[in-house]
Amino acid sequence: MQNNNINSESVQGFLCKKGNKSLLSSASWKKRWFILVNAPTNSNDNDNILLKYYKNQNDESPKGFILLSSIESIDSVTTAVTVATSNSTTNKYFFNIKTKNRIYNLYSDTEQERDYWILNLNISIVKLNDNDKSIKDRPRSYTLPTPQPTLIVQNDKPVNNSNNNNNNNNSKPPLPPKPLPQPTSSPSLQSRPQSQTQKVEQIPIPNSNNINNNNNNNKPPIEFIEDENISLCGAKIKDSLKNHSNGYITCMVAVTRSKIWTGDSQGNIVTWTISRTGATDKLKKGSQWKPHTSVTALIYVPSQKLVYSSGLDNKICSWNRTDFSPVFTHISKFPIYDMVFSKNDLIVYCGGTSSSSSSSSPIEKLTSNIANKDNKEVNLSNLSLFDTITKEETEIPFSAYLPSILTNDGKKLASPLSKKRKFIKMVKYDEKIIICTNRAEILIWAPFDNEPCKFISIGESFDITAMDIVGDTLWICTTQDINGNIFSTTLPCVITVLDLATLKKIRSFECHHPISNFSIINGYVWAITRGYITVYEPFTGQLAYETIQLKEDMNFCSLYHGNMVWIGGTFIWRFQIFDNWVSENLEYDITSPIKKSMLSRTGSQTVPDKAALEQAVASSAIINFIPIQDYTDFEYIESTLRKLKERFSLEYSNQLYDILLTIGENDQLMPEYQTMVCKCLRYFGRNKSTLMREFILSDNNRLVRIAQLLQSYLSNKNNLVLIYESLKVIEYLVSSFDKFSKLFQIEPIIKFTTNQPNRLILQSSLNILYRLFDFHSNFSSSHLNSSNSTNSLNGSGSKDVNSSSGNKDSLYNNIKEKVKTFISYLFDSAIDDKTKTAVINIISRYPNELKEQFKKESNIQQIYEILNQGSSLCCNDLIVLFSQILKDSSKIKEMVSKNFKPLLNLLEQRSSAFYPMSPSTSSNSAAPSAPATNDRLRIYYLMTSPSYIQRVYNNSNNGNDGKKIRKQIISSNFQSPVESIIFTLNSILHSLKSTSFKNTKITIIDIILPKEFPSNLDILNQSSIVNVNFVMPTQCFVSTIKFKFNPKDVSIKLLFENALSSGEATISNLSVSGEILLGFEIGTAKPQYIQFIAEPEILFDTQTTGVVVGFINLFFKSILKKTIKSKFVAPNKFYLPSI
């Protein structure tokens, strides 16, 4: 860099640039000559302050420029990457410049050079705001006393400079802080509207790796500055009130947009209301009463307008939302620790002690027998289903599926495994429920799907203090065995992040104190502890992004509703949230009729007034954003959709979904981006409260747009990926929201249920068809119920749908003709049990067609084999189906009695086992009919079926009980690893044939390996196929590997085919040598990328037939080298897939 004075007109030097790309992307870095051109000191022309960049130092015309007035922030990436070679060591010091339109990623070779650029950029930007208030460093944390908040910021002092002779502090922005163990966000450089300010206490944020060595005597002197009262994560304190009793708030629920209920540790329920007077509002305490000894959970059901409370006194109470009068009280068999509301009026609740009643039902005996084979503890009453309509309770024997806590002698194991298992926390995830125990065990249960439970163990000697869903991950906080006391201030704690799809640990890191609650607030993770709130970034955060100190102690829980956050403890705190994500992350065009009131004139240009625009966005009104103008800019479209998907995984926003639909409805959008739109829609209303879901579904126009968009995507017959993603979204929507079931038409779905070679598409379409049958009125009841079977085949709670005539009759006939095909799916081992259950519910509406099909002995024989084997989880539904067929058809019953007598005995045995409570089971009936069941009983029958118990028992007792995280290993059908390698390599080669290989198809026929290794180990060492010199990193997360890959007696046979000729080639004596950099994910030992320092040396011999010789010499070698250079050789990096 040129050694220019800070006050000179320009700063010049080389920087490496990667524009509009992620820092971790594989795009190439380009070296550019940058010139920072400053306007004269007395100039008001802000447009002349530019950062120009040229291809080289001698170019006269720039390749581009950055207008400093458009810069929003400059972020210093705090970890330097060190590249070690045999001759020298190269350091890369990264920073990025964020503008409204794009992000410029840059790096320099020295830290001083990077800081020098940032300093001069900051000074130049401050010149644009000389007439405004001074720009301050944004806080890293803030304290909230009463009545006004105090902000706490990190002690990041400016670096002294010899040219620092200007007395105006406003023109000297501080340099970025010294590198921390992970990247952090720099302060925003845009001037903000001046708000109320107050004194700020300045303390450092301790390193999470040293939390056990806190020493208050080492704190630096306290300094006070002035700053805004809005935190980094967009939160501002509104007010706070003391809790009604001496206890602390344990749970909260919103019943309207301005009213919440809280329950506390003393058993009190209190109502709180936001009272509005003009433009101001404040929190007021309402009614209070004491129905429990300690309130553990509150849930609100909008369809019933009832609030349910639970407590450690074994009670579930129901309350009228309006006048707070009690509706009913249910007494459980155990203290209730937590409860959630599932669909179809069911409440799932869990507790901690066994039922005192003896187990005498056949199912309980069956469960006990299976469990006691390995001395497993049997506890049938830790988790129950409660039907809020019938007021009936059904216990679910979850303890039968979990690892034994008994010795071979039947005695309890020693401490810490001796503590009795309790189910303590539950979180709802789509239609699944995640449950944890006091022994740090986690179960993922799908009560409405015929799927076994997933189970992992974090470690029996730990306690889980908090658990919640963050995007597609599960965050849990664990600490050492604390005997129920989560308010310790000395115990070390660990936050573990698990992938929900695989239950694989993504990362873990330490935190200061036990966390009692996680919440997603404005796209950030708020972790509630006893005295403060720690804010984390959900995808990258391991250190605290921000700390919010609360003056009052014993904070326990949180509630996020609308744009307000409530924190409950000995006080209840109310925060207001400012969500400016749209205006800060998306380009837009204002098309609102009142846009003129939000425009300000600067010189000859009219630009949006940022303050008015952000205020309008925060109020979710009046602005119509059009984020994409050019649908041929594929890079920007992909970037926008990725941003939206990431945001949807954390936050719901009507405005963002309207933006997404505007993009998805454009006819110019390519299918691959339509697929991305579908993936965004899979987060619609996900994991939201019942009140929030009611609010989301109130806009019928948006729901109709979503349904029409997805149905239009199904018409693209040439793109199976788009069809599959669209069907998965439709399946999620119709399973989670009844309103969507009335918006989707059956006709397009039926087309995918037959003659579909793709099993995934077939299964999704059948599951959707089953859901739509219960809500569409497209079928005539006269068709579905013949005179001989008025109440037939509807025992599992399915609803008959109605139809009028005309084309709906043809639709009925269309499905009727597919009954034969649907029955064949029941006998297909490639179809999962969930889909088979859907098929049974579909074909049960066609009794006459079923009778015709089961007149065939081959179908009856296969039914017998399925029931006799008992391994399918759809056996219960199949028993209901076939028992009704025998009841309705005397001819089929006679044929079964004559030729399949064991089937009748099996049906009687299975029915008495699965339906012990059935009043209609008769001992005189050769084929007892199964009773009509509701969802509660159906779930119970599934959970207590022998096949379900055995399958889950086998999954959770595979000899790995001591492992912290269980890994699923999915094996393929290849007979050897070589076959798998050949298949993978051919997939890559065939995907490249149209571009790199000039329409020539290359297929690997075989890989020939030596039969055996040499018997002499010395010879084996000398002739090793890989010689490696591996240097592990010490100060950075990059390792250097010198290697030579030279496999002996290994050859590869290739087949070359094009339109004119074909030929074979055998490649042998392959040799690859060079130096590789192996990069690790910052802060972890997880490999992230590989990179050749220089172009590797690649040698091989070829033996060819046909016309392949010329092709190899002219194309193959050069293309191979070019491909490796463009993907693997520095400065390019090849990022490894997730491990």
Residue 797 has pLDDT above 50, yes or no: no
How many residues are given for the chain?
1139
Q: For residues 921 and 932, which has the higher predicted lDDT (pLDDT)? A: 932
pLDDT of 1059 reads: 63
Phi-psi region of 665 (alpha: psi -120 to 50; beta: other; left: phi over 0): alpha
pLDDT band at 680 (very low <50, low <70, confident <90, very high): very high
Q: What is the pLDDT of residues 1066-1125, one digit of tens each?
A: 888 878 888 888 887 665 666 778 888 888 888 888 777 765 556 665 666 677 777 777
Q: What does the mean pLDDT of the chain come to?
A: 71
Residue 412 has pLDDT above 60, yes or no: no
Count Cβ atoms below 10 Å from residue 358 Cβ, excluding itself. 6
| Range with the poorest average pLDDT among 127-131, 276-280, 514-518, 538-542 | 127-131
What is the spatial distance between Cα 1138 and Cα 920, in angstroms, rounded to a whole number?
A: 55
Q: Please report, for residues 197, 252, 657, the alpha-carbon distance to residue 261 in angstroms, rounded to integers and kept in the order given.
A: 32, 6, 30
What is the spatial distance between Cα 643 and Cα 634, in angstroms, rounded to a whole number?
A: 14
- Backbone phi, psi, residue 228, to 5°: -75, 165
Count Cβ atoms below 10 Å from residue 97 Cβ, excluding itself. 24
Q: What is the pLDDT of residues 730-755, one digit of tens each?
A: 999 998 888 898 888 888 888 888 87
Q: What is the pLDDT of residues 197-249, one digit of tens each?
A: 333 333 333 333 333 333 333 333 322 223 346 788 889 888 899 988 888 99
Three-state secondary-structure class, residue 11: strand
Same-fold call for 235-579 versus 639-849+866-893+910-947: no
What is the spatial distance between Cα 1039 and Cα 887, in angstroms, rounded to a whole number?
A: 72
Residue 31 has pLDDT above 50, yes or no: yes
What is the spatial distance between Cα 1003 and Cα 991, in angstroms, rounded to a whole number?
A: 11
Q: Give 203's contacts (C-beta < 8 A, 6+ positions apart).
A: 152, 155, 219, 220, 222
pLDDT band at 565 (very low <50, low <70, confident <90, very high): very high
Class of domain 639-849+866-893+910-947: mainly alpha
Residue 172 has pLDDT above 80, yes or no: no
Give the mean model confidence (pLDDT) for residues 918-927.
Answer: 35
Q: 661, 767, 681, 762: which is closest to 720 by C-alpha?
A: 762
pLDDT of 917 reads: 38
Residue 979 has pLDDT above 80, yes or no: no
Residues of the chain with pLDDT > 70, as a percent, come to: 61
Residue 593 has pLDDT above 50, yes or no: no
Q: For residues 726 and 900, which has the higher predicted lDDT (pLDDT)? A: 726
Q: 1094, 1096, 1095, 1114: which is closest to 1104 by C-alpha?
A: 1114
| Range with the poorest average pLDDT among 507-521, 622-636, 1029-1043 | 1029-1043
| Range with the poorest average pLDDT among 183-192, 508-517, 529-538, 819-828 | 183-192
pLDDT band at 1060 (very low <50, low <70, confident <90, very high): low
pLDDT of 998 reads: 52
pLDDT of 568 reads: 94
Give the mean model confidence (pLDDT) for residues 480-495.
Answer: 65
Residue 1033 has pLDDT above 90, yes or no: no
Q: For residues 1017 and 667, which has the higher predicted lDDT (pLDDT)? A: 667
Residue 798 has pLDDT above 50, yes or no: no
pLDDT of 208 reads: 34
CB 17, CB 53: distance < 8 Å: yes
How many angstroms separate the most distant Cα atoms in the chain? Answer: 107
Rounded to 5, what percent of the chain is helix, strand, coil? 30, 30, 45
pLDDT of 452 reads: 67
Q: For residues 1015 and 809, which has the higher predicted lDDT (pLDDT)? A: 809
Q: What is the pLDDT of residues 132-158, one digit of tens each?
A: 444 344 444 444 433 333 333 333 333
Residue 925 has pLDDT above 80, yes or no: no
pTM score above 0.75: no
Q: For residues 189 and 864, which has the higher predicted lDDT (pLDDT)? A: 864
Residue 120 has pLDDT above 80, yes or no: yes
Residue 908 has pLDDT above 50, yes or no: yes
pLDDT band at 815 (very low <50, low <70, confident <90, very high): confident
pLDDT of 709 reads: 95
pLDDT of 326 reads: 95
CATH for 235-579 is 2.130.10.10
pLDDT band at 175 (very low <50, low <70, confident <90, very high): very low
- Backbone phi, psi, residue 634, to 5°: -65, -35
| Range with the poorest average pLDDT among 40-44, 162-166, 669-673 | 162-166
Q: Which residues of 585-622 are buried (b: 16+ CB within 10 A; e: fewer)?
A: bbebebeeeebeebeeeeeeeeebebeebbebbbeeee
Q: For residues 470 and 149, which has the higher predicted lDDT (pLDDT)? A: 470
Mind giving me the DSSP string for 602-667?
ETTEEEE-HHHHHHHHHTT-S--B---S-TT-HHHHHHHHHHHHHHHTT---HHHHHHHHHHHT-T
Two structure tokens written together for 60: 């006269």
Residue 416 has pLDDT above 70, yes or no: no
Residue 778 has pLDDT above 80, yes or no: no
Residues of the chain with pLDDT > 90, as a percent, come to: 18
Residue 55 has pLDDT above 90, yes or no: no
| Domain ranges across the chain | 1-132, 235-579, 639-849+866-893+910-947, 977-1135
pLDDT band at 355 (very low <50, low <70, confident <90, very high): very low
Highest mean pLDDT among 158-162, 293-297, 331-335: 293-297
Two structure tokens written together for 244: 């009604």
CATH architecture of 1-132: Roll (2.30)
Residue 109 has pLDDT above 70, yes or no: yes
pLDDT of 952 reads: 53
Q: What is the pLDDT of residues 422-435, one digit of tens each?
A: 889 999 988 889 99
pLDDT of 186 reads: 32
What is the spatial distance between Cα 366 and Cα 961, in angstroms, rounded to a whole number?
A: 24
pLDDT band at 487 (very low <50, low <70, confident <90, very high): low
| Range with the poorest average pLDDT among 57-66, 252-261, 925-934, 1051-1060 | 925-934
pLDDT of 216 reads: 35
Match 């306290």 to its residue by tokens. Answer: 222
